[in-house]
Structure 1
């Protein structure tokens, strides 16, 4: 071996202990952090796969010392929906942790194929998936998975495997079409070159016809197999009476192909088989790269979709059993081991736990949880095992809701994309007219060149770049947002966010943590402990963050609870009417900024609460101001608390005791001044202003009504994601403008050159493909966007 070893452990790169384990590999002594990594390195050496250490560009995954038990994976109910029968046995796809690069995929492929009973294996470093084909008559699945884990690649059952198989089949079909096109085009161009070199027309007619018929034979599968997506697309567009890019592509290819066939039959002067197949090859290559770009951009959504594990440990009388997640029901108690993924939404039973919610929020910092706190499917258990009581499963989990929300946003066509499609459709019709005019003019000048030049006009100005300019940029931007934990719920969210020039912020739950604490309680009459129970009962189902300030283990049941946004909450406890909220609403007193409990005229208790400001709120506000979005703070809280938060964050424009109507009126006033308002909030009372603003963002921990009214949701706790999203939206708008400008400039230059006869059909196909690749590569730059700058 000639490894590029990391500075720590030779295998995984983690820091070495004071007394590291030493293994001898190919004559050299290597230090590893544990016996697990040592065993993995030794096995790799003994299997003759030491090239892995030379090929890799990052450290491997640490090998767990305590091997996992994969025997449950051999059960039919576990494999159901994931594995399927093949002529050689069975096949399954699993998701592996720790696969970082192509060298990891190479190692997995070679290692699994050495396992008895494994007929085939294929690892994809981009998606993290490993396909395993094995014969159950010779070996069960569990030892194969154990081999994966022994190398540091911990397997998980993949969710949505049926959809993944269909995507894989579609990709394989596209690769097959591309391969046939490449082979056929190479052969066709080789034979066409012989015809082109006969500049003096000295080639015998029989030889010329032989080359033409051979070219015809190798071109036919390219046109009708490789080019089938364009032919089928043309049929659909014509059936729906909306000719588009596929109509133009298929028409150009078929014209070149059949005109060449006619010329071959009649012994004409020119054939254009090579132009037809080049067009198919170059356009297929551009489409393949665009599909790959979309696939990588949507990888975050796929990661979310497969984050929920397929198996869970459910407590039963006398112990526990491993069951498919689909078998879990509300109320089940589930055990989650350290490093494992939470299988369903639930409440923590243990006193404390630490969860990694990075897949959901984009934040890598572990989140501390206490007994009774909500846990979400897809989160990873850190440090110590935990127990939770299941509250939601399957499609009802927050993870599933986020996946559906992002999927809807990515599948809906925004205004700018619809505009580009409309322009492309009209351009296609105009291009056909232009080609006919060019043909007619050249027919009068040089009839022998008329068809060739008209064909070049059709090919060179195909609006492929225009059609790719917007969707590729938007797909990449959505993927970047999802990686940050910002979920775009509206089709036009990014466009609207890029145009915003003022931001309206809520206080509680937005600039503050939304975790109010009760630091003062005074009984006007009676026992303060009783009044606290009444307040806790009213807030229990009010959907307001204040419920946290009054949280108690045992509270009475409140009925007829009704929330009045901007005022408070009212309801009945033990048959008596109560109100909790502003002084004039709850007790008929003058507002003093505190929270009062009363019956509308009589005061029973007075409470004082505080809510910590988010650590990054000041930086986020400063970044928004630097991006040209002056902040306005509108809050329903008392003047003293609002002024304190505004002062600490440097916000000069603020208002307290704002009802939902007041907030909406303030937004309307800004819009009347010609401002484009970005509103950020989390509560029920923020729903009207979120719906009324030009673009709105809801905090993930907020009320569901706020989420339904918002264009984007910040899934994480970091408020810095807000200016990052604004910056990305503006950069997306610039790149879309660049792509559209390039597509327009290309056609302005290329179309006259083709019409004047300076560009032949073959060169036209090359120029069209290059134009499409330029806009795709430009859009992919959005995936490399980092931090916030002014």
Structure 2
């Protein structure tokens, strides 16, 4: 509570509130007779923003045309809100919106934070009911993935209806079949028996051809592409049982198998519904990234006024205003003051990040505690959020060699099974013709390779989802498989184990050259280099322009500044002197060659969790190495601080690659961790590589995995997930093969009825899926908060 809280009399007692907005909201809730909200809620609500909100943008035709759709009597839209804390909030929103004039229907989901609102445009504008939401503390946002969400919702509703139809039909068919099975003495009159069979036919037909339609269409696709798979067996078994039963009903045969046909469809429909839910859980990060972008933004005009505009109208250079709790609409730089942003969705880091004026702010992050203004630098598909979304979708769409191998095995398994089924059928025809069809049907159903085909894809989907939540994206096929094999981890230093923010600790000049002159020339050369060391010179004011700038990998950088040719880098490169670990600035003289005029001592800090990450890797049994372009003394000191025994200094990109090749020749599996800026050769040459993200590495295509966050503990966590994924895949494949090896002889021996075979097949698929879902449970390691140690970074200019 503030020193002077707002006070309102409610239920005969004076109550204190943090602000007038919350007081007004509570008063309205009581007056509307919605006080049960306070009884039902399990979490405290968010604070009501007392600042007025302009909701006129919600009534714009272009916004409604893109995000709303027509229904009978009006229009419908899906919204998001981050203020829905528990089921009581959803209860309150439902009733509040239902009371608003012109609202046809409203539904809030406390789990997803979504609100579905249908209204009659002839009676009310959309902004009117939304204004009531805002006054209660629920600020609405547009669900940018509405098209995908609507399609998924329609598909889920269709699947639920099919499961319902299949369940009702299966219960009725099994009840009628039970009556026929209980007639063990054959005393039931034939007309009664035939009547029960025709009733079962009527009940089973919609189950087979409506609830089972997805299996039939799937089988047709497989046959059209000459690819035998699960749907071919499922649909073939179902239709075989159904049509054989129809023929038996017409002819008055001894046996019918309607119960088996409907149980196939019912049990497998449930299994597929649960499998789809499992995939949705695994793909939650893709959906979260798709929904993270707001649909409109607040732009500040030259006269200081503000306007709400669709996100598509936001341009580079605009000044965007972000209120507390709002999502940042585009990438940009913080204009003034300080602010905190929650970047959990992008980086996997749970704690808000402090930003100062000039720092980069990314679309999809959430502004916390105080409002912010930013100058837009990237919009639309160029934002880091869009890049991440594409990388996640790319990772989820991968089909590694193991998955393709499982599919090939399933294809050959189905082909072999069909031949075995023919042999079993003729064998039983010779032994007991009355049971030949039933045994063959059970064999077809129980051996369907659902579990085998699901063993790898479900595990990989769950693993990629878990990695995305940690802030690790696998961008190449087989990245997880190779990461699980890793025996050695090689780290770069600058920008990887260090924080990549070197500072100038000391400047020494020679002759009549001043430190200011040296700093300005160095800043001019480094302005557009993109190397982490450039950050040390970034704060030098008004550096002169540099021309013909050329970076020499492993040596430094050279170019023309103010009519003279300069070099900045190692002593041997810039000053033709003995390497002393400092960065030298030199110019060329016709008589003396390259002569040093100044040298810089830099200092940099290790990342706060560098030591924790190294310790975790060693605990996992991996050998850890440090390969850096910096001077030997600085590298040794840094390696000692982070706990690495094997360190190598003055390594050029070619030297780093040669070092990794040397480890590989000794039979080691090398994982390289670099900053993605100057480590492309070794990132490409290692068995598996991880690029540190923070913006630049998102464009790094040499790496197999990209770390989107700042925490190095994501490296051992990713390795742990990769190893767990391999174990789960092996368990799934082992279970699938073991199940089929056990089930096939039992079915061929006639010990399994067709409907029990369907139950066994469905359970085997669910066991594989449930086992894969264990990979979604991840324990994110929190980086230590202790201050980072500082070391002198006597780095080469461009190692």
- Fold equivalence (TM over 0.5): yes
Aligned match of 2:790: none
Moved more, 187-196 or 272-281: 187-196
- The corresponding residue for 2:488 is 502
Work out whether residues 682 and 702 of structure 1, in 8 Å CA contact, stay in contact via their aligned partners in 2. Answer: no
Give the drift of 1:324: 0.9
Distance 1:131 1:546 in 2: 51
Matched position secondary structure for 2:78: strand
Contact between 1:690 and 1:706, CA under 8 Å: does it hold in 2? no
Partner of 1:539: 526
Report whether the alignment pairs 1:485 with 2:478: no
- 1:189 correspondence with 2:180: no
The answer to whether residue 68 in structure 2 is matched with residue 83 in structure 1 is yes
3-state secondary structure, aligned to 2:298: strand
Contact 2:676 2:700 in 1 (8 A): no
**Which residue is equivalent to 1:220?**
205
Aligned positions, number: 774
2:667 counterpart (674, 680, 684): 674
Which of residues 255, 276, 279 is equivalent to 1:294? 279
The one of 614, 622, 627 equivalent to 1:621 is 614
| 1:146 and 2:131 correspond | yes
| 1:572 aligned residue | 560
- Indicate the larger mover: 392-401 or 170-179: 170-179
Structure-2 separation of matches of 1:750 and 1:114: 59
CA positional deviation for 1:585:
1.4
Question: How far apart in 2 are the matches of 1:743 and 1:104?
Answer: 44
**Is 2:470–2:780's contact at 8 Å kept on the other side of the alignment?**
no
Q: Give distance in 2, aligned partners of 1:51 and 1:185.
A: 42
What's 1:178 paired with? 163
Q: Hey, what does 2:795 align to over in structure 1?
A: none
Q: For the residues of structure 2 that align with 1:446 and 1:422, how far apart are their CA atoms?
A: 35
Aligned to 1:438: 424
Q: 1:46 to 1:257 in 2, by over 3 A?
A: farther
What are the equivalent positions in structure 2 for 1:449-468 lying under 5 Å apart? 449-468=435-454
Indicate which of 562, 569, 572 corresponds to 1:584: 572
**Cα distance, 1:424 vs structure 2:** 1.4
Q: 1:100 to 1:775 in 2, by over 3 A?
A: farther
Aligned-partner Cα distance in 1 for 2:169–2:11: 47
Match of 2:323 in 1: 337
- SS of equivalent to 1:384: coil
For residue 575 of structure 1, report the CA deviation from its aligned partner: 4.0
2:707 equivalent to 1:714: yes
Distance in 2 of aligned mates of 1:25 and 1:242:
70
Measure how far apart 1:39 and its partner are: 5.1
Distance in 2, matches of 1:550 and 1:543, equals 12
Q: Distance in 2 between matches of 1:534 and 1:671?
A: 42
1:622-661 equivalence runs, <5 A: 622-661=615-654
1:369 and 2:355 aligned: yes
1:283 to 247, 259, 268: 268
- Bigger RCO (CA 8 Å, 6+ sep): 2
CA 1:496–1:60: 2 relative to 1, 3 Å: farther
Counterpart selection for 1:555 from 520, 529, 543 = 543
Structure 2 residue aligned with 1:530: 517
Q: Distance in 2 between matches of 1:705 and 1:535?
A: 28
**Whole-Å separation in 1 of the counterparts to 2:78 and 2:187:** 60
CA contact (8 A) 2:6 2:20 kept: yes
C-alpha separation in 2, matches of 1:54 and 1:499:
54
Unaligned runs of 5+ in 1: 1-15
Give 1:52 shift. Answer: 5.1
Deviation at 1:155, TM superposition (A): 1.6
Q: 1:706 to 1:214 in 2, by over 3 A?
A: same
Query: What is the CA–CA distance in structure 2 between the aligned matches of 1:128 and 1:705, rounded to whole Å?
Result: 29
CA contact (8 A) 2:84 2:110 kept: yes
CA distances 1:571-607 after superposition (whole Å, capped 9, x unpaired) = 2223432221111112211111111112462212211
Instruction: Please give the secondary structure, in 2, of the residue aligned with 1:306.
Output: helix
Tell me by how many angstroms 1:270 deviates: 1.0
Alpha-carbon spacing, 1:376–1:769, altered in 2? closer, same or farther (3 Å): same
Please give the residue correspondences for 1:593-632 in structure 2 after superposition, counting only pairs within 5 Å.
593-599=581-587, 601-632=594-625
Aligned partner of residue 308 in structure 2, secondary structure: strand
For residue 101 of structure 1, report the CA deviation from its aligned partner: 4.6
The unaligned stretches of length 5 or more in structure 2 are: 589-593, 783-799
Alpha carbon RMSD of aligned pairs, Å?
2.4
Q: In structure 1, how many angstroms separate the alpha carbons of the residues matched to 2:456 and 2:362? A: 34
Task: Quickly say closer, same or farther: Cα 1:157–1:753, change in 2 above 3 A.
Answer: same
Q: Is the 8 A contact 2:222 2:232 kept in 1?
A: yes
Q: Distance in 2 between matches of 1:27 and 1:197?
A: 70
Displacement after TM superposition at 1:762 (Å)? 0.6
Match of 1:429 in 2: 415
Q: Which moved more, 1:295-304 or 1:247-256?
A: 295-304
Structure 2 match to 1:726: 719
Selected match of 2:685 from 678, 692, 711? 692
Report how far residue 40 of structure 1 moved. Answer: 4.8
Distance in 2 (CA, whole Å) between partners of 1:283 and 1:640 is 65
Measure the CA separation in 1 of the matches of 2:767 and 2:9: 50
- 1:739-766 Cα offsets, whole Å, 9 max, x none, are 1111122112222111111110111111
Q: Distance in 2 between matches of 1:202 and 1:17?
A: 86
Q: Aligned partners of 2:125 and 2:725: how far apart in 1?
A: 49
- For 1:642 and 1:674, the matched residues in 2 are separated by 26
Aligned partners of 2:488 and 2:622 also within 8 Å = yes
Q: Aligned-pair distance for 1:58? A: 4.2
Task: Give the stretch that moved more between structures: 497-506 or 193-202.
Answer: 193-202
Cα distance in 2 for residues equivalent to 1:60 and 1:316: 33
Who is 2:789 aligned against? none
CA distance in 2, matches of 1:109, 1:373: 41
